[in-house]
Structure 1
Amino acid sequence: MALRGTNQEFGRPYNRRIVLESIRLNGPIARGDIARGVGLTVQTVSTIVRELEEQGYILSLREEPKGRGLPPATLRINPEGGYAVGIHLTPLGIDAALINLSGDVIESMHSEAPNVTPDHAFDQIGAMVRDLAGRRAGGRVLGVGMALPGPFGVESMSFIGPTTMTGWKDVALRERLTTATGLPAFFETDMAAAAMGERLYGLGTGYSDYYYLYFGVGLGGAMVHDGSVLRGAWGNAGEIGHIPVVFGGEPCPCGNRGCLERYLSLEARGRWHGSDDAWVAEVGPVFRNAITIIENLFDPETVVLGGLAPPALLERLAGAAELPNSVSARKDRVTPRIVVARGGQHAVLRGAAALAVSGVLSPRFGQIFTAKRQRGGDLLKGGDIAA
């Protein structure tokens, strides 16, 4: 969405978020460039910047003069100006990380909790968030974001089988997460969270249109277009793992046969008794066909291969063999058709935390929060947000 200021009744907290979001996305940036970009006066931006500096959200830097006059000060996010907690819930357990505003993982922890029930999971998550927040005493914890396997809300596919969270049907995720942590809460599919994490902090910073292929317990993906993850009408776009690729193949818990993730996923690798090299050779043709399907459907600049699989395994898959022909087999290509993600296994946690940061700092959240509190306060103004 375009960042634009407003003169509406609730404009002050809204404009503060607009300016902060502009700095977060575009910094280091000068006040004049912010004003032109968001449609506010330089005076209004300067007033907001002064408040944000006083509250510790941003830093002002000035380069050494190279000629006459002083260069304009530029603004950037203060990495320690706030934190968010990213949670990743899988059939194998719970991972959590405290992440600063620059996307650095400050502390992380793991809880072995295979096929955990909702009650136990939220008890564990609450304890983990309190533990992580306590490691930065006095730090501002903006919110918590949780990533978990999808798809959401599909009767025949959600929360069924080894790649999903059995027993989690009809759980009020946002409400339970808020109650467990006392923080503004957000949730997303793990593949979309990973794509977001890679966009902000990994290879995705160099591309505007790419497909993130998420190799986890199951297989999923997300198309990133112009910096945003395409989510679909019900938030389930990218469930490539449930595309049937083998006629009359292995039965899938979704009810179909021969689904892609039955052959290409950590769950599939776990059922294979042999070396990684032998497994890659076995599933190589299926993998290459999957890449071709993605390319012909989305025409991405590249396919970024990431997720929970060890980087060495992803490298073996990416370099397994020459890819078939597709719309991506262009002579004028300047990037490989497949690249391995840089975000590593923390990409999901970074993306989940970024979801919380964006949710709390975004103009949309500003509008919702202002309406709920009847314009009686502003989350960004002073104090410990977790208090």
Structure 2
Amino acid sequence: MRTSWLCLLSFWISWGCALEQAAPGYRVVGYLYGPRMDSLAVLDLSGLTHVNYAFANVRPDGRVVLETAADSVRLRRLTELRGSDGPQILLSIGGWAWSDYFSDAALTPASRRRFAASAGSLLVGFGLDGLDIDWEYPGQPGEGNVYRAADRENFTRLLATVRTLLDSLTQVQGRPYLLTIAAAAGPAYLAHVEIERVYPLVDFINLMTYDFHGSWTDHTGHHANLYPSSLDPEKMSVDGAVRRYLAAGVPGAKLVIGVPFYGRGWQEVRPEHQGRYQPYGMPVEKELSFAVLQRYYVGREGVTRYWDAEAQAPYLWHPEQRIFISYEDEQSLEAKIAYVRMQQLGGIMFWEYSGDWEGRLRCVVASINPLLQCDEEK
């Protein structure tokens, strides 16, 4: 009997150790927008595995550049804060405003080499850990960008050139370098890229699973809901985006879902369904940071916070002023953490650090990875 108990105890100990060793090291990726970094009295990188500094620009000849001297100062500050055991720091290239000339940069072997070499020079010069390519978007105009039908194949070629450069730097520097991309959630993105050839070239993909609705849509709606709403004619959701990428062959472990540290608001909204998926007169603001929402909206007189159980998303409704606001909070983040674990995805990314300078949402996101500790600002 004694032997049986010892065997059983040994089994449970070994099983528990195996579980601990098998627990995935989920990524917690935070974007940090350079100009907003200057307003932060405290910059706490705890709870993060990766920091993406946004943005470097792409010139028409393919060169990647930092547009201001302030960018250099900020990158130096980040690498000092990182220390020896902090998060990996990546330089994010492009973004919505600076994707104008990606198509030109990707057009020829020479322009692709210029892009890779100039990006690599910044990488080594600042002691960074990788590059994040944020082309918004191949084969599409974005914010009035140059674009071509050939972007589909050229995007793959550009990433392959960068990957080759990073591998060669690894041989010289004796350390690995990361290559990631920021990718759109909608089906149009997958129609304009060779995702089956792209994902083997990158370490992981940051899915921009937010901005499902905004001032550009003719009705209100959740802008980062986990599951689709039956009221939404487009049926946009995080789950829908993830399923599209999985169906296209992307391994779940390479998908990092994005969450917003800001909300979208509308006013003069038709009151049905507390303003959900209704016509409106005008947007409240371009972006409502989580900090602004906590200070001026959540819990204020006349404003009620609701939870949409179907969409797994919170929203605010002011019936007298007919204001509807979609945003992210602790409850919706907990739902997304459970979803990432259930689907065995690669982690969670957020845009953008300064929207939650107190660290409330950041520390919730960090809880997905038991190896991380997060110090919430008081």
TM over 0.5: no
